[in-house]
Amino acid sequence: MREGGANMMLLEKKKMKMYVAGEWVERDREIDVHDPQDNSVIATVPAATAEDVKRAIELAKEGKEIAANMPVHERIAVLNRAADYIQEHAELFATTIAREGSKTIREARKEVRRCIETIRISAEEARRINGETIPFDQMPGSENRIGYYYRFPIGIIAAITPFNDPLNLVAHKVGPAIASGNAIIVKPATVTPLSALLLAEAFHAAELPAKVLSVITGYGSEIGDTLVTDPAIRMVSFTGGVEAGKEVAQKAGLKKIGMELGSNSPVIVLKDADLTDAVESTVSGAFWAAGQNCLGVQRVYIEKDIFDTFTERFVARTRKYVVGDKLNEQTDMGPLITEKEAIRVEQWVNEAVGKGAKLLCGGKRNGAFYEPTVLIDVPASARIYREEIFGPVVCLYPVTDLEEAIQKSNDVQYGLQAGIFTNDLPKAFAAVLKLDVGGVMVNDSSDYRIDGMPFGGVKQSGLGREGIRFAIQEMTEPKVVCFRFNK
């Protein structure tokens, strides 16, 4: 394997470099990376300029040709070597995720395991980018034609990734891009760039050809427009907020766009459900990664007959949640990504309470930490009722029946995933058919995903689908080949 920047990437050394087309690059102007737990500076990364992005794009023009001409077996080998590297350095990856972001060390280790799976699935799917024969003789006069179609890579992909899954969400863009023969430029979240740089190190060590991958660190306000508007970029894969997504879509121009824009995810609990299972699953779904999770449970609709019992159990389980030091093995939940975000969550909760909502537990902030919070009687006029809170807050609502639960679940602008707890199969299928979302989890919370499934939403939750095979479809185009011959 190539010698790279592995030693450079150890967290004990604070000055990091960004990865531009196979080279580790530093800049005089830098960005501090903070641990949100105590706001300490754990590293610095280069503050890229628009000129850096233009250079990365120019090099990627060569990289796309290199990538497209890589035999499939070489793509598979590179991806598997990168997965091996991550596995060998798993604890460094997990500690990096935990230090720069909000996840506890246990949550971070799970993300590393999922990242390895994402890269390995990408290697497997590389061998399954297939086409089909086409019966041209279905058209009269075309009896002397025969042909097929195959899929070809689109070229250069720009990937813009968020802070909440700083490793695996990057892998969900990089893995399929490499598997399908594209070049890719990643712009990770400014507050959590280290995990993406570690992933670049894994691919560097795996001998991915230079110019195929770049990881550019910098402020979105300074380099984002240059990245998404350049006509050489043939696809923008964006994960983030709705307003930012709309801005990207307006500026991108004539190119493919894939977007995962968040949610306000509902879970329905019917009276025949296993309440112990439903409580445990929805509590975990609400407070995983401090609620900074696009699949996180924000609304729970409970049949009236069991509302009091469910609520009592839910609050009791929430009170047991251990909030504190992210690196402590016993901690269940760490801080939000910044104190500013914790203040915003606090304001939203206070607004809801001021309009009549009742606070059953939580509701207190300490710096970037915000307690796991449970609300009932949240009025429709409260912002938290319709918008994505992206914090450790969940709202419980009683409903008369499944129809009311479905109607209220659909009554927001988002539609990523939903969950339903029931042992009634016809009711489960009714929910599957009527919930206006991209995925329905039966007897699981909305916060369930495997990396091989199609992932994405409807309405303002996004465009297109991720999940390796489905991302590859987005990152390739069909080319038709037809032979005419003389009989």
pLDDT in tens, 8-17: 444 455 899 9
Answer yes or no: 482 catalytic.
Answer: no
For residue 296, what are its two tokens?
């996180």
Closest by CA position to 337, among listed 302, 293, 368? 368
Q: In 3-state terms, what secondary structure has residue 16?
A: coil
Query: How far apart, in Å, are the Cα atoms of 23 and each of 26, 56, 76, 197, 209?
Result: 10, 11, 22, 12, 11
pTM for this prediction: 0.95
Query: Are 64 and 79 in a shared domain?
Result: yes
The answer for residues whose C-beta is within 8 angstroms of residue 14's C-beta and 6 or more apart is: 41, 42, 43, 44
Instruction: Assess if residue 135 is contained within a domain.
Output: yes
- pLDDT at position 487, please? 72
- pLDDT at position 76, please? 98
**Angle, CA of 124, 127 and 130, to the nearest 5°:** 130
Query: Are 180 and 61 in a shared domain?
Result: yes
Amino acid in the structure at residue 211: K
Residue of 125, 260, 303, 388 marked active site: 260
DSSP state, residue 208: P
Q: What CATH number is attached to the domain comprising 205?
A: 3.40.605.10
% of the chain with per-residue pLDDT over 70: 97
Q: Checking DSSP bridges between strand 132-134 and strand 40-46, what pairing results, if any?
A: unpaired
Integer Cα distance of 270 and 409 in angstroms: 14
- pLDDT at position 243, please? 93
Instruction: Assess if residue 487 is contained within a domain.
Output: no
Model confidence band, residue 486 (pLDDT cutoffs 50, 70, 90): confident
Residue of 294, 339, 371, 466 marked active site: 294
Query: How far apart, in Å, are the Cα atoms of 94 and each of 86, 97, 194, 360, 427?
Result: 10, 5, 11, 34, 40
Closest by CA position to 147, among listed 139, 157, 137? 137
- pLDDT at position 12, please? 57
For residue 420, what are its two tokens?
């339903």
- pLDDT at position 303, please? 98
pLDDT by residue (tens digit) across 328-340? 999 999 999 999 9
Integer Cα distance of 220 and 241 in angstroms: 13
Query: Are 129 and 183 in a shared domain?
Result: yes
Q: What CATH number is attached to the domain comprising 365?
A: 3.40.309.10
For residue 30, what are its two tokens?
């830098």
Instruction: Assess if residue 345 is contained within a domain.
Output: yes
Does pLDDT of 451 surpass 90? yes
pLDDT by residue (tens digit) across 381-426? 999 999 999 999 999 999 999 999 999 999 999 999 999 999 999 9
The answer for residues whose C-beta is within 8 angstroms of residue 344's C-beta and 6 or more apart is: 391
For residue 397, what are its two tokens?
């609502």
Residue 27: how many other CB atoms lie within 10 Å: 16
Integer Cα distance of 298 and 283 in angstroms: 10
Instruction: Assess if residue 486 is contained within a domain.
Output: no
Side-chain-side CA neighbours of residue 374 (13 Å): 20
Integer Cα distance of 467 and 305 in angstroms: 38
pLDDT by residue (tens digit) across 267-322? 999 999 999 999 999 999 999 999 999 999 999 999 999 999 999 999 999 999 99
- Give the burial string for 66-75 (b: 16+ CB within 10 Å, else e): bbbebeeeeb
Model confidence band, residue 7 (pLDDT cutoffs 50, 70, 90): very low
How much is the mean pLDDT over the chain?
96
Query: Are 356 and 231 in a shared domain?
Result: no
Integer Cα distance of 272 and 285 in angstroms: 20
- pLDDT at position 10, please? 46
Integer Cα distance of 132 and 118 in angstroms: 26
Query: Are 328 and 359 in a shared domain?
Result: yes
Q: What are the strands of the beta sheet with 132-134, ordered from one edge? A: 132-134, 145-153, 476-484
Contact 145, 482 (CB under 8 A): yes
Answer yes or no: 395 catalytic.
Answer: no
- pLDDT at position 38, please? 95
Which whole number is the average pLDDT over 162-169? 97
Question: Is the model more confident about 383 or about 7?
Answer: 383
The answer for residues whose C-beta is within 8 angstroms of residue 301's C-beta and 6 or more apart is: 266, 267, 268, 269, 397, 398, 399, 404, 405, 408, 409
Amino acid in the structure at residue 452: G
Query: Are 326 and 406 in a shared domain?
Result: yes
Query: Are 253 and 283 in a shared domain?
Result: no
Which whole number is the average pLDDT over 31-50? 96
Integer Cα distance of 458 and 263 in angstroms: 10
Integer Cα distance of 433 and 158 in angstroms: 34
Number of domains in the chain: 2
Domain that residue 153 falls in: 7-261+462-480
Q: Which residue's entry shows tokens 């990937």?
A: 159
Integer Cα distance of 107 and 291 in angstroms: 12
Instruction: Assess if residue 485 is contained within a domain.
Output: no
- pLDDT at position 4, please? 44
Using left for φ > 0, alpha for ψ between -120 and 50, and beta otherwise, residue 253 falls in left
Query: Are 143 and 237 in a shared domain?
Result: yes
Instruction: Assess if residue 270 is contained within a domain.
Output: yes
Query: Are 240 and 301 in a shared domain?
Result: no
Contact 120, 87 (CB under 8 A): no
- Per the DSSP assignment, residues forming a β-bridge with 229 are none
Instruction: Assess if residue 468 is contained within a domain.
Output: yes
- Per the DSSP assignment, residues forming a β-bridge with 393 are 373
Query: Are 174 and 272 in a shared domain?
Result: no
> Containing H/E element for 85?
helix 72-88
Q: Checking DSSP bridges between strand 145-153 and strand 132-134, what pairing results, if any?
A: antiparallel
Query: Are 342 and 363 in a shared domain?
Result: yes
Query: Are 211 and 276 in a shared domain?
Result: no
Contact 114, 451 (CB under 8 A): yes
Instruction: Assess if residue 173 is contained within a domain.
Output: yes
